[in-house]
Structure 1
Amino acid sequence: MEEIYEELNIYTSTEHIINEEDYIVKSIGAFGVWQTGVCLSAISARMLAMLNIFSMLFLIPSIDFKCIDPVLTENNSCHDDCELYSFDNEVFEQTVISEFGLICDDEWKGSFIQTILMFGLLCGVSLFGWISDRYGRRTALLICTYTNIALMLAAPFSPNYWSFVTLRFLIGIPSGGTLIVGIVYIMEIVGPKHREVVGTLALLPDGLTQASLSLFAYYTRNWRIYSLAYTALSVIPFVLVLFIPESPRWLISKGERDKAYAVMLEAAERNKLDTLNIRENIDKALSEMNYKNTSKKPCYLDLFGTKELAFKTFALAAIWTSAGACFLGINQYITFLGSNVFIAVALLGCIQIPICPIAIILNKMFGRRIIIVASLLTTGLTMIALLFTPQGHAACIIFSVIGFASATIIFCIIYIYTSELFPTSLRNMGYGMTSAGAKIGAMAAPFIASINPHWIPSSIFAVISFSSSFVCIFLPETKGVNLDT
């Protein structure tokens, strides 16, 4: 995937485009009807990953319990001599927590379900990054999509806790694949001037996915039925990914001139562009790629080759980790605050929809660093405000929504900022290494969110946010600055 990224010069800023011709975009257009259809299909596959990530909010929600053998009246208390616990089914008829008894000494197992899913995502990014390089973007996306759907259908029939955990890990692998392959595919077919907007808007359906899960959970109330219900949405990517062609850029990188020509011809015709020079442009693109492939190949150690690069790598990894922990942590934390969980989760989903275009506007107006610092500080301040807010109070939701919105803005911009801070030869590896921090943060998030009393998680999220904002201050601004080559 490295040579593809170098060919793409994959940063997404409109202020500074590297002065070299993109013969592929020249043939098929920067963005048109063809790219719109392909992007929608790739984004639909991403929806599967987000369903699996956000579904945990209703699979392992906070639920009251008490000992009934012997009968004790105190709720949510563990006793060494208790033989049997009863779970409150006023909100949920059956959850993973209540069915498998994940309380007291086994409480950690609930958070571990989300952690193992995120670990699967981390593995999937590497595995399917390699598969997409070796066998093509379309092939990787098809494998991810259909494997994901099959595993999602199997998970509700898990007979015990460990079989469910195993399936969640396996689900995470193709989910991670769809996230990386989908965004790479989109960046490969969209012109440089449109990558910033398209790359950000590709995150917009995430909010719709999360909000829809509230409806499924509200009308089912049983984790097995709920899992089958939201899996029904997979019919959308099941159909759409069949119509995704292979990436013309990948075909050219593999020397598949004729196949690349067929795809690019269709794209140009759909976009109503001249098709006369497509073969000539393919040959020019091949010539450029062959020239770049003769240059010295960088390695991951080069990310620490100078003090400046080492600081950028550590700082960006810290910001990614903070973003991942706060984004998923606040999502899960809000389910423990005693508010209406269905409204709270739906609200957090809906808030993501306007955040994407807002992030684009703020990015263009103020630049990367100042928006990320401001967003991290806002997240930290809202978490501090939660320390002084009674649990169950309406203000808890308000502060959580503001903090979550700020974390969402960070995600919208950090993709761009990361790719701009590294030189071209290290851009792909720098992005891969630092963005892994988001998965690590997400792995820790459920354990942090479930800590009692409730002021401890908000304190941890505040410290993480403030620390990352301090580090970010010392990173350079990239808006309007020429990129390193």
Structure 2
Amino acid sequence: MAVIYLVPPVSYTCPNNTTCCDDPTFDTSVFKRTIATEFHLICDKSWLQSFFQTLFQSGVMAGSLMFGIASDRYGRRPAVIVAVMLELCTGIIAAFMTGYWSFTFVRMITGAATGGIMVVTFVLLMEFIGTDKRSMFSAIFHVPFAMGHMSLPLFAYFYRDYVQFQFAISVANVIVLIYICLLPESPRWLLAMNKVNEVVTILTKVAIINKMPTDTIRQAVEQYHINYHVSSIPKGSVADLFRTSNLRRNIVVMSFTWFACSFSFFGMAQYVSYLTGDIFLNVFASGAVCFCACLVAIPMLTFMKRKKAVAICNATCGVCLLIIAFIPDGILGMVFACLGMLLNFLVFIIIYLYCTEMFPTVVRNAALGFSSMMARVGSMIAPFVVALKPHGQWCAPVLFGVLPLISAVLCLMLPETKDIRLMTTLEEGEAIGQSSRKIGTK
């Protein structure tokens, strides 16, 4: 979301030319220096403004897949620690890059780290949380994102030079690095890798902290290990998601849902900066509705079926965004934009959990990584759609509104996963698409 302030809408005049010039006079009343003003990204170079965000999201896309696969093979904890360190280092380095391409390239690496953090930390959380608490914590997981979104206007208000802004938001990641190193490995992943003793050690520490009995932990873990034949589970890969019909259908529909959601959300997040009003207040408002979405998601995930919730939110979101195309630019447009973003972010929260529940342990991170990769394809395209606003106010809202409507229909093909036990094997993952019978509860 930092791109909103790294590349905000730019205004300039050309003293010797009414359209474009080699030496424009930029309006610095709001921002002293941005990427657009620093590297003269206007006229025939204006497409580089959108391309900057596209390359960042391509990094997120690659990182989501690479770190997802790496965490399935080498563990959740080492993958997320590497990702956090990479995000911190490259974010700071980017602030000292003096050229457009060098700055953009380093930011792309930062994006890869960000994608890895988003995917792996969510899976790690879900593999620690029991079924009865899964809905609440899957919503709470997104609260920091919303708070970060809301804090961006504060950073941008005090740091109106893009170099200072980039440095400030990167240094803040030191806090993440400190606590992320204290995280234990996922017991479910360790069990899938046949590391029973390490599982017992971690769960014993957790039980001691929570002041719970520890004498039956080893017996329970070993019994679970025997019951679900964990010792015979092979390591999975992205290819395994496409080998059988039901897993293939589920991953195709789920990845399209992620694509549509990301396309609309990140597109509208940038679009609001072009709407009438203060850019700081507009972005804060869009972040605030994301925070509200986290609160709304808790009862929704607790009491509603996953499939129904995704379908309703997507359909309503699509209608709200289409309405923007047919009303004058102003406060009412901002209201519908924020409402659409709230519903869109609700879908994001739900599909993170939905995808986690739908695929087994051996390919769970691969499924999340692939879906997140498709989401980044949507966010890579979105900036170019936002840039269509000068060609017609209706262009961007219509395109952002149509895909959620299509997604609402397609998600009806997915199986319901509410209250099921997290699956371990590929056979369980295939079975959930063949029968409405629940695999079991925990």
**Alignment TM-score > 0.5, same fold:** yes
State the SS of the aligned residue for 2:14.
strand
471-480 or 193-202: which moved more?
471-480
TM-superposed CA distance for 1:428, in Å, is: 6.0
Determine whether 1:380 maps to 2:318: yes
Q: 2:387 aligns with which of 421, 427, 450?
A: 450
State the SS of the aligned residue for 1:84.
coil
TM-superposed CA distance for 1:323, in Å, is: 0.4
Measured at CA, do residues 138 and 334 of structure 1 come closer, stay the same or move farther in structure 2, by a change above 3 Å? same
In structure 1, the partner of 2:3 is 56
TM-superposed CA distance for 1:432, in Å, is: 4.5
Amino acid at match of 1:170: I
Q: 1:337 aligns with which of 275, 288, 295?
A: 275
In structure 1, the partner of 2:28 is 89
In structure 1, the partner of 2:335 is 398
RMSD between superposed Cα atoms in Å = 2.8
In structure 1, the partner of 2:177 is 238
Whole-Å separation in 1 of the counterparts to 2:128 and 2:416: 27
Contact 1:207–1:348, Cα closer than 8 Å, also in 2: no
TM-superposed CA distance for 1:59, in Å, is: 0.5
TM-superposed CA distance for 1:151, in Å, is: 0.8
Amino acid at match of 1:63: V
Q: How does 1:99-110 map to 2 (within 5 A)?
A: 99-110=38-49
Whole-Å separation in 2 of the counterparts to 1:173 and 1:465: 26
Whole-Å separation in 2 of the counterparts to 1:351 and 1:135: 37
State the SS of the aligned residue for 2:25.
strand
In structure 1, the partner of 2:108 is 169
Measured at CA, do residues 310 and 63 of structure 1 come closer, stay the same or move farther in structure 2, by a change above 3 Å? same
In structure 2, the partner of 1:129 is 68
- Unaligned runs of 5+ residues in structure 2 are 420-435
255-264 or 157-166: which moved more?
255-264
395-404 or 277-286: which moved more?
277-286
Q: 1:117 aligns with which of 56, 65, 71?
A: 56
**Cα offsets for 1:323-355 (capped at 9, x unmatched):** 011111100011122321100111111111221
TM-superposed CA distance for 1:89, in Å, is: 0.9
State the SS of the aligned residue for 1:146.
helix
TM-superposed CA distance for 1:294, in Å, is: 5.2
State the SS of the aligned residue for 1:61.
coil
Whole-Å separation in 2 of the counterparts to 1:299 and 1:59: 34
Contact 2:238–2:367, Cα closer than 8 Å, also in 1: no
Contact 1:420–1:483, Cα closer than 8 Å, also in 2: no
Whole-Å separation in 2 of the counterparts to 1:384 and 1:259: 52
TM-superposed CA distance for 1:212, in Å, is: 0.5
TM-superposed CA distance for 1:436, in Å, is: 3.1
Measured at CA, do residues 363 and 341 of structure 1 come closer, stay the same or move farther in structure 2, by a change above 3 Å? same
Measured at CA, do residues 88 and 245 of structure 1 come closer, stay the same or move farther in structure 2, by a change above 3 Å? same
Contact 1:149–1:234, Cα closer than 8 Å, also in 2: yes
Whole-Å separation in 1 of the counterparts to 2:201 and 2:362: 30
Contact 1:145–1:237, Cα closer than 8 Å, also in 2: yes
421-430 or 360-369: which moved more?
421-430
TM-superposed CA distance for 1:95, in Å, is: 0.6
In structure 2, the partner of 1:416 is 353
Amino acid at match of 1:171: T
Whole-Å separation in 2 of the counterparts to 1:158 and 1:298: 37
Contact 1:336–1:450, Cα closer than 8 Å, also in 2: no
Measured at CA, do residues 361 and 291 of structure 1 come closer, stay the same or move farther in structure 2, by a change above 3 Å? closer
Contact 1:339–1:397, Cα closer than 8 Å, also in 2: no
Normalized against structure 2, the TM-score is what?
A: 0.86
Q: How does 1:134-153 map to 2 (within 5 A)?
A: 134-153=73-92
In structure 1, the partner of 2:428 is none
Contact 1:115–1:443, Cα closer than 8 Å, also in 2: yes
* Matched-pair identity in %: 29
State the SS of the aligned residue for 1:375.
helix
Determine whether 1:178 maps to 2:125: no
Amino acid at match of 1:446: P
Whole-Å separation in 1 of the counterparts to 2:255 and 2:407: 9
* Aligned pairs, number: 422
Contact 2:310–2:351, Cα closer than 8 Å, also in 1: yes
In structure 2, the partner of 1:42 is none
Q: How does 1:282-431 map to 2 (within 5 A)?
A: 282-288=221-227, 290-291=229-230, 293=232, 300=239, 303=242, 305-306=244-245, 311-391=249-329, 393-419=330-356, 430-431=367-368
State the SS of the aligned residue for 2:132.
helix
TM-superposed CA distance for 1:252, in Å, is: 4.2
State the SS of the aligned residue for 1:276.
coil
Contact 2:192–2:233, Cα closer than 8 Å, also in 1: no
349-358 or 150-159: which moved more?
349-358
TM-superposed CA distance for 1:266, in Å, is: 1.7
Contact 2:61–2:372, Cα closer than 8 Å, also in 1: no
State the SS of the aligned residue for 2:32.
coil
Whole-Å separation in 1 of the counterparts to 2:283 and 2:199: 44
TM-superposed CA distance for 1:150, in Å, is: 0.9
TM-superposed CA distance for 1:305, in Å, is: 4.0
State the SS of the aligned residue for 1:339.
coil
Measured at CA, do residues 425 and 163 of structure 1 come closer, stay the same or move farther in structure 2, by a change above 3 Å? closer
In structure 2, the partner of 1:264 is 203
**Cα offsets for 1:98-145 (capped at 9, x unmatched):** 111111211121111211111111211222223334443222222111
Normalized against structure 1, the TM-score is what?
A: 0.79
State the SS of the aligned residue for 2:24.
strand
Contact 2:260–2:407, Cα closer than 8 Å, also in 1: yes
TM-superposed CA distance for 1:278, in Å, is: 2.8
Measured at CA, do residues 311 and 251 of structure 1 come closer, stay the same or move farther in structure 2, by a change above 3 Å? closer
